[in-house]
Amino acid sequence: MATHIHEEEQVEALKRWWKENGTSVIAGVVLGVAGILGWNTWQNYQKTQAEQSSDLYMQLLQAVDQGKPELAQGVTQRLLEQYPNTAYADFARLVQAKLSMDAGKLEEAKKSLGQLMTQSKDPNYRHIARLRMARILLAMGKQDAALALLTSKEVGELGRFAGHYEEIKGDVYQAQGKLKEAADAYRRALALGRDHAYLRTKLNDLGVGSS
């Protein structure tokens, strides 16, 4: 009998506990299930986005390799519109800028590079965009603007791009007629690893001694 009474007390205690806490328990279970489903949905979405953007990226590479600028431009636009926050979009902007440059549309090229400089999360892409922008400004005869771009505080850590910056600085100084400054910049570029035949030719053509 004592055992029976004890079991009844346990049942009653369980009923009271369920009455007081049952709703929150059910809500917790529902939220847990929803959370799992939501996470799985998000994971699937991310996977789909990655696959689709990767496919477009491969199409872009193929179009560039095959020398089809109109197709490349179309794929580039799709990448920028549909996947603007991916590394593929950064590459697409570089391609877009090059296509514009090849077509002689320097202002359009500057626009694409400017977006890459300010919007990319990857410092490597930002450096590449800045260096190409400087080249465009130099080609347009805007030496002061090109030099200001290369020496701006916004440049940040140069890393492996330091030699590239020095070489283009040398090109700018040469265009300005500052041959000694150009030679010094070229020598710094060589010391920083930009040791290639064309750079040495540019340095030798200046006819400036090492002093």
What digits encode the pLDDT tens for the residues 193-209? Answer: 998 999 999 999 998 76
Which of the pair, 102 or 177, is modelled with greater confidence? 177
Note whether 89 and 175 are same-domain residues: no
pTM recorded for the entire structure: 0.70
Q: Are 49 and 145 within one domain? A: yes
- The verdict on residue 10 lying in a domain is no
Looking at residue 81, what is its pLDDT?
82
SS (H, E, C) the chain: CHHHHHHHHHHHHHHHHHHHHHHHHHHHHHHHHHHHHHHHHHHHHHHHHHHHHHHHHHHHHHHHHCCCHHHHHHHHHHHHHHCCCCHHHHHHHHHHHHHHHHCCCHHHHHHHHHHHHHHCCCHHHHHHHHHHHHHHHHHCCCHHHHHHHHHCHHHCCCHHHHHHHHHHHHHHHHHCCCHHHHHHHHHHHHHCCCCCHHHHHHHHHHCCCCC
175 assigned to some structural domain? yes
Q: In this predicted model, what pLDDT tens digit does every residue of 30-56 receive, in sequence order? A: 566 555 555 455 455 455 556 666 777
Domain range holding 195?
Answer: 157-211
pLDDT at 12: 63
Domain-embedded: residue 21: no
Is there a single domain that holds both residue 187 and residue 97?
no
